[in-house]
Amino acid sequence: MAGLSDAPFIEALAVPAVCALIAFLSYFSQYIFFHDPDLLPGPPSRAETLVFNGLLLCLWISYFRAVTVDPGRYVFEDRVLEVTADDDGGSGRWCKKCQAPKPPRAHHCRHCRRCIPKMDHHCPWTSNCVSMTTFPHFLRFLAYANVSLWTLGYLLWQRFLALWETRHMPSHLGPSLFGLVGLSATALTWSVTSLLLGLMLFGTLKGWVLNRTSIEELEYDRHEAHFRSGARDWWDLTGPDGEKLKFEHVEFPYDVGFFANMAQAMGTSNVLLWFFPLAGNPRLSKTAPGPGWTWEENGFNRKEGMWPPINPEKLRLSKRELGVSRRNYEAELQDYGLSAEEQVEAFRRRQEEDFRRRNRNLMAELEEVDDDVYQQRRSDDDEGSLFGWTHADGDSLGDYGVDEDAEEQDEDVPLAELLRRRKGNGLYVDE
């Protein structure tokens, strides 16, 4: 259901529709319970009424905050952004839409039109991104929604059980037709809503404990699938230096222990505040490094900043389509400041070296290409996600609200940006 955000009418109707659904299940059901005295076992008790409406109050507060809290905005003024790649910053993530660096775990949302810190997905039912700042409210909303549904389910079960036990009585002694129709409509709506929200709560709790967003879950599944396929020949890709890029398994680095994961996501280690509807949420630091700009890693990889892992299929297909290797950032930096004649000579020298490398690898490249498979992959990509990967249920990055066109430019860092980073000794400094 992640892709529902793309429907043009969903964004305008989503929040009113959710409010109407909550009101129907919450208050129409109580109207049925109290309106028909013949609907056994009668109106809910005072304690049941207080508990149910208390849960509804928490539900409304949590939903309001999930809708209205800002998902986060990176402001690049008087800031310093640490680069987790090489000293030249050549592998740093860059968003071509924002024209700014993209911090770890951030993605460009095509609905919010900006990079979102620790973006999980753009939720159509809140018309907001589930992110570093909104995740606690989204989790509380799902938790209170499910507990409220379970409470309503108990009240419905009491009344259906009473109907079954009195099934042999004359119908005119039982509840009214309006009461029976209203009870049946409520039960049908309850069953569908409970199933869907239960699945959503399960997935959200799993990501909460593992400290893994929906987008990172997709990246994790893709990487593990590549790993299980083994070190095949198509993993051997030629880098800008002519050397082969080898497959390397990358552990998910942000799982720092289940309690630390949960406390980090909720913005506090006080368990009592995790499900308090008026509790706060993590705050994005105004400057880097800080919360939302850098993230603690577990140290299982040989260095930090290795996530997300390289997508070899994306590199291979882009290389075949464009016919060029990845940019040689080091050469660009070396050429900067040279005279026009010196730059032309340096370019010709690199061109000759590239020609020799391509000749060496030409036969190997041709042997690796399966034209039928390649054309099928390109056909699939043209219809959907560019160089994409989907879950078994068919969800891709685009279904989570990610601007995939911006994602494809993660490594296309402008030369001026590289110079600023080098001047700052590996730090990005806004001058």
Please give the structure tokens belonging to residue 175. 């509840």
- State the average pLDDT over residues 111-121: 93
| Percent of the chain surpassing pLDDT 90 | 43
Confirm if 262 and 269 have CB atoms less than 8 A apart: no
For the ranges 89-103, 183-197, 279-293, 366-380, the maximum mean pLDDT occurs at 183-197
Confidence of residue 308 (pLDDT cuts 50, 70, 90): confident
Residue 427: strand pairing partners: 82
Task: State residue 184's pLDDT score.
Answer: 94
Q: Which spans in 324-423 are helix H?
A: 329-335, 340-368, 371-383, 404-407, 415-423
Task: State residue 67's pLDDT score.
Answer: 96
What pLDDT digit, counting tens, does each position of 347-356 carry? Answer: 677 667 666 6
Distances 416 to 13, 25, 89, 400, 412 between C-alpha atoms, Å: 44, 57, 11, 32, 12
Place of tokens 């990172």: 216
Task: State residue 394's pLDDT score.
Answer: 61
Residues contacting residue 317 through CB under 8 Å, at least 6 positions apart: 374, 377, 378, 381, 387
C-alpha–C-alpha distance, residues 266 and 208, integer Å: 9
What pLDDT digit, counting tens, does each position of 192-212 carry? Answer: 999 999 999 999 999 999 999
- State the average pLDDT over residues 23-33: 95
Confidence of residue 325 (pLDDT cuts 50, 70, 90): very low
Which amino acid, residue 188? L
Task: State residue 428's pLDDT score.
Answer: 42
Confirm if 277 and 140 have CB atoms less than 8 A apart: yes
Q: What is the pTM of this model?
A: 0.79
DSSP 241: T
For residue 27, pLDDT over 80 is answered with yes
Helix axes 258-266, 135-165, angle to 10 degrees: 100
For residue 253, pLDDT over 70 is answered with yes
Task: State residue 374's pLDDT score.
Answer: 39
For residue 326, pLDDT over 60 is answered with no
Task: State residue 93's pLDDT score.
Answer: 78
- The count of C-alpha atoms lying within 13 angstroms of the C-alpha of 79, restricted to the half-sphere facing its C-beta, is 17
For residue 321, pLDDT over 50 is answered with no
Task: State residue 237's pLDDT score.
Answer: 60
* Of 19, 72, 116, residue with least CA distance to 281: 72
Task: State residue 378's pLDDT score.
Answer: 42
- State the average pLDDT over residues 350-375: 53
Of residues 169 and 35, more confidently modeled? 35
CA 269 to chain centre: 23
* Of 346, 349, 345, 315, residue with least CA distance to 332: 346
Catalytic residue numbers, as ranges: 123
Helix axes 135-165, 46-68, angle to 10 degrees: 150
Confirm if 422 and 333 have CB atoms less than 8 A apart: yes
What pLDDT digit, counting tens, does each position of 71-97 carry? Answer: 999 987 644 454 444 433 334 678 888
Mean of the per-residue pLDDT values of the chain: 78
Of 242-251, 351-360, 422-431, where does mean pLDDT reach its minimum?
A: 422-431
| Percent of the chain surpassing pLDDT 70 | 64
Please give the structure tokens belonging to residue 11. 């964004």
Confirm if 113 and 129 have CB atoms less than 8 A apart: no
For the ranges 120-134, 226-240, 329-343, 358-372, the maximum mean pLDDT occurs at 120-134
C-alpha–C-alpha distance, residues 84 and 221, integer Å: 23
For the ranges 30-39, 127-136, 168-177, 396-405, the maximum mean pLDDT occurs at 127-136
Confidence of residue 225 (pLDDT cuts 50, 70, 90): confident
Length of the chain: 431
C-alpha–C-alpha distance, residues 81 and 93, integer Å: 11
Place of tokens 């290409």: 369
Confidence of residue 332 (pLDDT cuts 50, 70, 90): low
Task: State residue 85's pLDDT score.
Answer: 40
> Would strands 94-95 and 121-123 be described as parallel, antiparallel, or unpaired?
unpaired
* Of 207, 166, 186, residue with least CA distance to 41: 166
- Buried-exposed string 261-283: b where 16+ CB fall within 10 A, e elsewhere: bbbbbbbbeeeeebbebebebbe
- State the average pLDDT over residues 47-55: 96
